[in-house]
Amino acid sequence: MRLIKSTENRGLEIARMGLEEGTADDVVVRAERYLVLLEEHLGALRSLKGVPQVNFAAQSKFASLLIEQIRAAIRAEIETSTSEKNRIRTLLDSLLMVSGWTAVETLNQQEYHNACDWELIGTSIRSTAAGASMTIPEAVIEAARLRREAYFVVRKAA
């Protein structure tokens, strides 16, 4: 039983699909929106703790079995939603948390300007092969853009 796909959680499903259909320009906004909805969903699931009441279960063996199934479904949904929340948080961190060193790493991995010798020198990043240099803030912005684009290239390839 997947609660995330129920009609009550249609907004969550739409946000997930929107993230997959997004672009490199709006992936961060869509991921943040999806993360907020996941947090709300988890909050609602956690508020179900102890539901249904135990005295209802005492009425019959069948009622006890149903209650255990409901609780198991809620636990499974909490685990699945927490895993998804962690995946989206990791995605956002990878797209937003770019330092000078990680910018160099990204530029080299993506062979930016057909060069893989980008290096951090003082307050700038340069490539001898490309004959280019940029400030650290410029490199961070470019690396973040490259990471967002790479995310969609990988998604389409999968």
- The residue ranges of every structural domain in the chain are 3-96, 100-157
List pLDDT tens digits, range 50-79. 766 666 556 778 877 888 888 888 889 999
Task: Determine the average pLDDT of the residues in 86-97.
Answer: 95
Classify 52 in phi/psi space as left (phi over 0), alpha (psi -120 to 50) or beta. beta
Asked if the peptide bond before residue 52 counts as cis, ω within 30 degrees of 0, the response is yes
List pLDDT tens digits, range 40-50. 999 998 888 77
Q: Which residue has the higher pLDDT, 4 or 142?
A: 142
pTM of the model: 0.79
